[in-house]
Chains A and B, each alone.
Chain A
Amino acid sequence: MTEPATHSPDAAVGTPTVDAAVRVVDLVKDFGSDVHAIGGLSFDVPRGELTSIIGPSGCGKTTTLKVIAGLAEPTSGRVEVEGRPVTGPGPDRAMVFQDFALLPWATVLRNAAFGLELKGVPRRERESVAREYVAKVGLAGHEDVYPHQLSGGMRQRVGLARALAVDADILLMDEPFASVDEQIRRKFQEDLLNLLSDEDKTVIFVTHSIEEAVYVSDQIVLLTRGPSTVSTVVRPGLDHSAGSDSVRRSTAYLDWVERIWQELESYLEN
């Protein structure tokens, strides 16, 4: 197999990251005494980059993200954000949910402003910030409609606007495009990258799609089957300046997809 042109994956493995926004250290998570979801997970998330977590289904990707979000307690080990151990949710992290988690009784604008509303930001101020992000995610003109009047893709844009509006440094995305049609998904991936290029965010992105992970990520953490550990960490870091179509056709992109597929395949066979 030919090595992808940009970086050598093997060289990236185990390289200590100097500037980590988030560090996951020996994370273990059991549910009860029988289910061992995560069995000793360690990786660093470099600041200002997009890191994907990918692995076989049921490997504890979402659980890992919830521990980082402070929504679940680790059985042992820890997560550090900016060097401080996570003890619960905090304003430094904002989450985008797989099922959108929008308030069905609230308009798009109020949903996008809801993170700020919970922080006690006055109405006028939070609505002007939310209006700005609703426009940035491409929903200008839909401020006053309700979530059930929107398609799945548009709902997730509201979820993204809500997470961006609170201006957290770290964005946690739990399979954000899993409930979105394939065609819309690609457009959404491009829009996400464009949006993030203006914002100085560290993103942790959980997905089960290899193509998606390779397309959006600076770094990909591959997990083994549960109780999961880090199988390998790779850095595709594709050059997006040539436009999305040429990225998806480039040898580097295709080689990375193939390489990760082979890595994961070994866990699927038995």
Chain B
Amino acid sequence: MTLRGHRVPMVFSLLVWLVIWEVLGRAGWISLIPPFSEVLASFGEVVSSSSFEEAARITLQAFGIGMALSFAIGIGLGILMGTSRAFGSLMGMWVNIFESSPLTAVVPALMALLGFGLPTMVVTVVLFSVWVIALDTQVGVERVNPSLVEMGRSFGAGRRRLFSSIVLRAALPELLAGIRLGLLRGLKGVVIGQLLIAVVGVGYLFELYSRNFLMPEFWSLLIVLFAFAFLASEVVGYFERKVSFYASSR
């Protein structure tokens, strides 16, 4: 961003919004929005509390297991869909339906099936994130230059080697985009799952804070989540930028 020819750092726009937030909060028009200074004051307290530590542990555990499953299932499914035309058209419709459907509705049914604990949260994460990973992997695999595959075969690469050394590597730009989107959806999934379960993790804390109208604490927790999501996305984004140069020259 530039202003009258001067380069303005990105932080500046953030500052502007924080000032607007502070003014809105102090005006007291909307009871849901406390002044930013109050949120900041409660931030340290929230983050250092034992209930937060417990919630973060449970949430990260469910998120971690769920995402690991999603990567394995999503990438595997995507490779199969991208390499076999028959399998691709067999699965394509379903994956697209699940990708675009409001899966939140399924969570209560999952609870009835799997209980109020870790399994429900993990399955929610997978349900939210796996489809976009599968679809992006499929697109990546389909875009691999066929002559690269022929080259590999002609120099004696077996099926396994073709995939590890050529196909997956060539599909990396799309694969990473899928992983980045999948991480964000998985994070949504774990929080939504916990909110519906209402007795565990970060979702429980949200529930607790909003029921007792602890808005500064509520916002502090939201900022932690924003920051986590931003960080996860930026880390994958960093690798995406490293490989983007060959997305156009394959």
Query: Measuring CB to CB, which residues of chain A are less than 8 angstroms from any residue of chain B?
Result: 66, 69-71, 89-91, 93-95, 97-99, 101, 103-105, 114-115, 117-119, 146-148, 162, 166
Contact = CB atoms under 8 A, between A and B. Distances in A.
A101 B147 contact: yes
Counting contact residues on chain B (CB < 8 A from A), the size range is: 20 to 34
A88 to B, nearest CB: 8
Interface of B: 145, 147-148, 150-157, 161, 165-166, 169-170, 172, 243, 245-246, 249-250
Contacts, number: 62
B156 to A, nearest CB: 6
A148 B161 CA distance: 24
B169 A89 contact: no
Given A91-B156, A95-B154, 8 more contacts: A89-B153, A94-B154, A99-B147, A101-B151, A104-B170, A118-B155, A148-B246, A162-B155
Contact of B148 (A71, A101, A146): A101
B141 to A, nearest CB: 16
B243 A97 contact: no
Contacts of A148: 245-246, 249
Contact of A71 (B150, B157, B170, B250): B150
A94 B152 CA distance: 11
Q: Tell which of A70, A71, A93, A147 has the most Cβ of chain B within 10 Å.
A: A71
Contacts of A114: 155
A147 B157 CA distance: 21
Contacts of B250: 104
A185 B31 CA distance: 75
Contacts of A70: 154
Given A89-B155, A103-B169, A105-B169, A97 B245 contact: no
A95 B151 contact: yes
A119 B152 CA distance: 11
Contact of B161 (A99, A103, A118): A118
Given A101-B145, A101-B147, A118 B152 contact: yes
A84 B143 CA distance: 36
A91 B245 CA distance: 32
Given A69-B154, A166-B155, A105 B246 contact: yes
B243 A119 contact: no
B146 to A, nearest CB: 9
Nearest to B157: A118
Nearest to A66: B150
A114 B148 CA distance: 12
Q: Tell which of B152, B156, B243 has the most Cβ of chain A within 10 Å.
A: B156
Contacts of B246: 104-105, 148
A93 B154 CA distance: 8
A118 B165 contact: yes
